[in-house]
Structure 1
């Protein structure tokens, strides 16, 4: 890892029922709040991640 570059966090969400994937850039705090396999409600504004509320 290059210490001169900022860290980037990404998460890929599967949108149901279509099964399409959407990859979003997140803050470290948002990223750490997620776990693999979580289900819930994703809120985006255009292509920008807003929030994810687990079910």
Structure 2
């Protein structure tokens, strides 16, 4: 989930530098983890020539 989130952010942002997980949630069905998701923040560096 974290890799997917960072990969998705990298599609529209560049110079990604760090990430922070601020939330983890999941859904249980029949006593097993059915799916989960993470909330994350990503940090990036601005271009110097901007």
For normalisation by structure 2, the TM-score amounts to: 0.25
Higher RCO (CA-CA < 8 Å; seq separation 6+): 2
Which protein is richer in helix relative to its size? Answer: 2
For normalisation by structure 1, the TM-score amounts to: 0.24
The higher radius of gyration belongs to 2
